[in-house]
Amino acid sequence: MTIAPSESSSNASDLLTLACWMSGDFSNYKQSFANPQLYAHIHIFFRPLPIEFFSAIGFYSEQAYDHDLWTPYRQGVHKLVDCSDRIYIENYSLKDQMLYAGAARELDILKTITPDCIERRYNCSMVFMREGEMFRGSVEPGNQCLINRNGCQTYLVSDVEITEHTWISLDKGMDIETHKQIWGSTAGPLRFEKRESFADELLAVRALC
């Protein structure tokens, strides 16, 4: 799907608000502590990239287990795009992920990521809309965000709710033929709370918005 940015700036404040709320280190410690049999202790990091990277708001992200932060199990680069009544987040993969492990916590590593290091994950954009004091998002329609897991071709179903201090997400991989769940949580969504905000790193973007 090709996304055409809106010519209107009416959504700029929502886009910046979403960016500020996304910026941070999120942990599901409370959920994991209360129910360790079902939920591992996980961190989600979203660290703002320099505005020059995309000439727009962008992030580098990591997901890692609390006991092994230097070996993230998921990494990505993301670009926020204003599309009138909604916000698209384009997703990109890193060509050599482990070169950048820890970049969400070490800015010297973050600075080594360049546009040449990434490639677009087509059909895998997230679509967000504001609902009061929350943004709700899901992967773009069509069941075309494909992920091969253990030799099985699956499509991603992803639902996210973001507030100023929380992040709730549920990712599932569904078999492209049977539509049965192959991977992902069967116990319900992961519930994260923000431990540290990186929103101050978006100050340069604020001036543009």
What are the tokens at 122? 């087509």
5 located within any domain: no
Average pLDDT, the chain: 92
Q: Which residues contact residue 18 at a Cβ distance below 8 angstroms, ignoring those fewer than 6 apart?
A: 80, 87, 128, 130, 135, 162
Residue 38 DSSP code: T
State residue 150's pLDDT score: 86
Span 47-82, pLDDT tens digits: 999 999 999 999 999 999 999 999 999 999 999 999
State residue 12's pLDDT score: 76
What are the tokens at 160? 């996210």
State residue 207's pLDDT score: 53
Span 21-48, pLDDT tens digits: 999 999 999 999 999 999 999 999 999 9
85 located within any domain: yes
Total number of domains constituting the chain: 1
Domain range for residue 161? 12-195
202 located within any domain: no
Higher pLDDT, 194 or 209: 194
Segments in the chain forming alpha helices (H): 12-22, 29-34, 51-54, 107-110, 203-208
2 located within any domain: no
Cα separation, 15 vs 140, in Å, equals: 17
207 located within any domain: no
Taking residues 112-125, report their average pLDDT: 97
Cα separation, 156 vs 83, in Å, equals: 22
Cα separation, 166 vs 193, in Å, equals: 5
What are the tokens at 77? 């680069």
What are the tokens at 170? 């549920």
Please report, for the domain that includes residue 35, its CATH number: 2.40.128.590
pLDDT band with cut points at 50, 70 and 90 for residue 83: confident
152 located within any domain: yes
Cα separation, 165 vs 195, in Å, equals: 8
At 200, is the secondary structure helix, strand, or coil?
Answer: helix
For the entire predicted model, the pTM comes to 0.90
Give yes or no for residue 8 having a pLDDT over 80.
Answer: no
204 located within any domain: no
Phi then psi dihedrals of residue 51, to 5 deg: -55, -30
Nearest-5° Cα angle at 16, 11 to 18: 95
101 located within any domain: yes
Span 132-181, pLDDT tens digits: 999 999 999 999 999 999 889 999 999 999 999 999 999 999 999 999 99
Span 200-209, pLDDT tens digits: 999 766 554 4
